[in-house]
Amino acid sequence: MRQARQIKLGAFLMTDGHHIAGWRHARATANANVRPDHFLRLARIAEAAKFDAIFLSDSLGVRDTNLDSVHRTSRHVGFEPLTLLSALSVVTHNIGLIGTASTSFNEPFHVARKFASLDLLSGGRAGWNLVTSSGEEEARNFNLDHHIPHAERYDRAREFLQVVKGLWDSWEDDAFLRDKVSGTNFDPRKLHVLDHRGRHFSVRGPLNVARSPQGHPVVVQAGASEDGRDLAVASAEAIFCAHRTLAEARAFYADIKTRADRAGRNPDHVKIMPGVFPVIGRTETEAREKFEELQSLIHPAVGLQLLSTVMGVGDLTGYDLDGPLPDLPETNGPKSRQQLVLDAARRDNLTIRQLYLSIAGARGHWQVVGTAEQIADALEERFVREGADGFNIMAPHLPGGLEDFIDDVVPILRKRGLFRSEYEGTTLRENLGLPFPRQPAERSGVSSVAAE
Distance separating alpha carbons of residues 211 and 141, to the nearest angstrom: 33
Q: For a copy of itself, give the closer residue by CB, 8 or 429.
A: 429
At its nearest, how many Å lie between a copy of itself and the CB of residue 364?
22
Give the shortest CB-43-to-a copy of itself separation in angstroms: 11
- Contact yes or no for 108/160 (Cβ under 8 A): yes
To 10 degrees, what angle do helices 81-89 and 108-121 make?
A: 20
Measured CA to CA in angstroms, residue 122 lies from 10, 212, 261, 282, 433 at distances of: 17, 10, 32, 38, 18
Nearer to a copy of itself, 101 or 409 (CB): 101
Smallest distance, a copy of itself to C-beta of residue 174, A: 13
Q: Is 85 exposed, middle or buried (0-12, 13-18, 19+ CB in 10 A)?
A: buried
Nearer to a copy of itself, 36 or 312 (CB): 36
* Whether 339 contacts 325, CB under 8 Å: no
Q: Which is nearer to a copy of itself, 120 or 350 (CB)?
A: 120
The conformation of residue 147, written as its DSSP 8-state character, comes to P
Q: Which residues pair with 184 in a beta bridge?
A: 179
Q: Smallest distance from the beta carbon of 129 to a copy of itself, in angstroms?
A: 16
Closest contact distance (angstroms) between CB of 88 and a copy of itself is 8
Question: What's at 357, amino acid-wise?
Answer: L
- List Cα–Cα distances, 128 to 20, 56, 121, 284, 346, in angstroms: 25, 10, 15, 37, 42
d(CA 342, CA 319): 16
Choice between 66 and 354, CB closer to a copy of itself: 66
Residue placing its CB nearer to a copy of itself in the complex, 116 or 412: 116
DSSP string, 204-261: ----SSPPPTTSSPEEEE---SHHHHHHHHHH-SEEEE--SSHHHHHHHHHHHHHHHH
Question: How far is CA 318 from each of CA 295, 300, 326, 359, rounded to the nearest angstrom?
Answer: 21, 11, 11, 20
H-run or E-run covering 203? strand 202-203
| Residue 28 C-beta: closest distance to a copy of itself, Å | 8
Residue 379: partners with Cβ closer than 8 Å, 6 or more residues away: 7, 276, 368, 391, 409, 413, 418
- Closest to a copy of itself by CB, 121 vs 344, is 121
Q: How far is the CB of 185 from a copy of itself (least distance, A)?
A: 5
- Give 55 or 79: the residue with its C-beta nearer to a copy of itself: 79
The minimum distance between CB 136 and a copy of itself, in angstroms, equals: 10
Query: Which residues contact residue 441 at a Cβ distance below 8 angstroms, ignoring those fewer than 6 apart?
Result: none
Minimum CB separation of residue 309 from a copy of itself in Å reads 18
- When the beta carbons of 135 and 364 are compared against a copy of itself, the nearer one is 135
Question: Taking the complex as a whole, how short is the minimal distance between the CB of residue 448 and a copy of itself, in angstroms?
Answer: 14
Q: Which of 296, 419, 313, 416 is nearest to 353 (CA)?
A: 296
Residues in contact with 72: Cβ distance below 8 Å, sequence separation at least 6, in sequence order: 299, 301, 302
Nearer to a copy of itself, 12 or 171 (CB): 171
Least separation, in Å, of the C-beta of 337 and a copy of itself? Answer: 25
In this complex, which beta carbon is closest to a copy of itself, that of residue 37 or of residue 327? 37
Which residues fall within 8 angstroms of residue 129, CB to CB, at 6 or more apart?
55, 57, 98, 99, 100, 101, 220, 221, 222, 240
* Minimum gap (Å) between residue 173 Cβ and a copy of itself: 12
**C-alpha separations of 334 from 134, 339, 340, 385 in Å:** 13, 9, 11, 30
Backbone angles phi, psi at 205, to 5 degrees: 75, -170
Nearer to a copy of itself, 112 or 368 (CB): 112
